[in-house]
Chain A
Amino acid sequence: AQSVTQLGSHVSVSEGALVLLRCNYSSSVPPYLFWYVQYPNQGLQLLLKYTSAATLVKGINGFEAEFKKSETSFHLTKPSAHMSDAAEYFCAVKSGDDYKLSFGAGTTVTVRA
């Protein structure tokens, strides 16, 4: 079954600094990969998705992710962190033959002024 691993449960960055969240996947077939963001006391919101159309995927709020098949990675980046980026981020992969997703454990981002 497909799965994802998020490296680092917590990331702290300064405002204006690069945000880099790591996600590695295991999949025997071309994967469908997703990044979600969860703000406090809210549901998960789709940031971006990879569906094999392009290896560099641009999402909302200035985030982007690059699919690297050779590294089985789908890392999320944002060039300049903003205070509003403080949230929890989840990487997910389509799991199995149906419409289920398998989620990583999540990475909490803190932004320092």
Chain B
Amino acid sequence: DAGITQSPRYKITETGRQVTLMCHQTWSHSYMFWYRQDLGHGLRLIYYSAAADITDKGEVPDGYVVSRSKTENFPLTLESATRSQTSVYFCASSEVWGQYEQYFGPGTRLTVT
């Protein structure tokens, strides 16, 4: 199906483990974003990417790593998961020729025990 997908939808992991959250979009949008959503904090930007091989830090990048070797994929890696990284993670994309609106994936609920 066309659109933006995230996998897995739910993940439970242990403190210290490496976890990778996947994001895939079929629109060939140039921009992609990773957010985390926590009660009381709304949506906070972790990392974003303007194109393949171009990434930049957002508001809360510590403890996360991203890569973008292909336009359609934007994986987010937690190198050594901590309990404070328990959250719902959303991926989004935006097209260069649009009007800056972003399109969101369904989210990944991550629990770090």
A residues near B (Cβ < 8 Å) are 32, 34, 36, 41-46, 49, 51, 90, 94, 98-101, 103-106
Contacts and interface: CB of A to CB of B under 8 A. Distances in A.
Contacts of B41: 105
B42 A43 contact: no
Given A34-B100, A45-B104, A100-B33, 17 more contacts: A32-B100, A42-B107, A43-B90, A43-B104, A43-B105, A43-B106, A44-B90, A46-B101, A49-B101, A51-B99, A90-B42, A90-B43, A98-B31, A99-B100, A100-B58, A101-B102, A103-B43
B103 A46 contact: yes
Nearest to B40: A105
Contacts of B106: 42-43
A91 B107 CA distance: 19
Contacts of B107: 41-43
Contact of B42 (A41, A45, A94, A103): A103
Contacts of B104: 36, 43-45
20 contacts: A32-B99, A32-B100, A36-B104, A42-B106, A42-B107, A43-B90, A43-B106, A43-B107, A44-B90, A44-B104, A46-B102, A49-B101, A99-B31, A99-B94, A99-B102, A100-B45, A100-B58, A101-B102, A104-B42, A105-B41
Contacts of A100: 33, 45, 48, 58
A51 B100 CA distance: 9
B89 to A, nearest CB: 11
Interface string B30-50: 010100000011110100101
